[in-house]
Chains A and B, each alone.
Chain A
Amino acid sequence: MEAAARGLVIGILICQIALSVVLASVFLIRPSLTSATGWKILAFIGLCVLPALCVVGGMNTHMLRSEQTRFCISCHVMIPYGQSLYVDDPNHIPAQHFQNHRIPVDMACYSCHADYSIYGPLKDKMQGLKRIYMQYVTTPPNPITIPGGFKNAQCLHCHLGARSFEENPVHAAMMDALKSNQTSCLTSGCHDTAHDVANLSHQKFWTSAQ
């Protein structure tokens, strides 16, 4: 359903682009038409309003697309991270979240790696551009690391307020330290198996019946 809606949005955007191309082609071939008032209005729509809308629509489509799991793993270096979502081991945090639909499966990477602060999406996009630059111009780091480390806020965005999380005595005892990021959810020894890409070849994988 969501994929159909996404397809419809892209379809509408492409129709808008096609209309704009047709109008712009008319003024490319016959610019003299703009002497008449009606054509002046059409020129304003075809060369200013529609192109501006197409840029906004295109930016929005690209931003939404970049939140999809298949977008993230379309980058070569991310393929093992995508595979790690299918590891058949309950200790693998990303795999458990993905396989049990604790996060939307088509936005799996974004759900846990998005910066949920006010300028977060912009920061994420800049970080993504930096990664593309490293991939094609310089050398990408090996292993891939998250600048500043994985923040608890990304876990707490969903878990904070959840009964099972708050009633857990271990969580309750260190709630302030978790909220202030003094104790990491991942590296403090509690949930320390994330994307173990170095050992993927030794893992058993889960296959969905679908």
Chain B
Amino acid sequence: MKLSETRIRSLLRVSSALVIAGMLIEIVSLLWFHPLSFVLFAFVAAILIGLGILVYLVSIVFVVVPPAER
């Protein structure tokens, strides 16, 4: 499966948004000293960041290589 450049850019945007959201939640969890902060980190922040990384990896794995570069 090959993705068009527009599709890859939108995947990069989604990946960036997920990573940013996850990172901001991770900062909140680090500054909040409460047993729930671990739950917030493990079940929200880590999952968002993990999804962000996954979407980024999908965008580079299925990248379209122009014929001239092959």
Contact = CB atoms under 8 A, between A and B. Distances in A.
Interface of A is mostly: helix
Chain B at the A interface: mostly helix, strand, loop or mixed? helix
A17 interface: yes
Interface string B14-31: 011101101110110110
Contact of B19 (A14, A47, A75, A132): A47
A34 B8 CA distance: 10
A21 B24 contact: yes
Given A24-B23, A54-B26, A74 B53 contact: no
B20 to A, nearest CB: 5
Size class of the B contact interface (CB-based, 8 Å): 35 or more
A113 B41 CA distance: 24
A52 B29 CA distance: 17
A138 to B, nearest CB: 15
Q: Which 6 A-B pairs have the closest CB atoms?
A: A28-B16, A31-B12, A31-B9, A47-B56, A24-B16, A24-B19
13 contacts: A10-B30, A21-B19, A24-B20, A27-B15, A31-B8, A47-B12, A48-B57, A54-B23, A58-B26, A62-B38, A129-B38, A132-B35, A132-B39
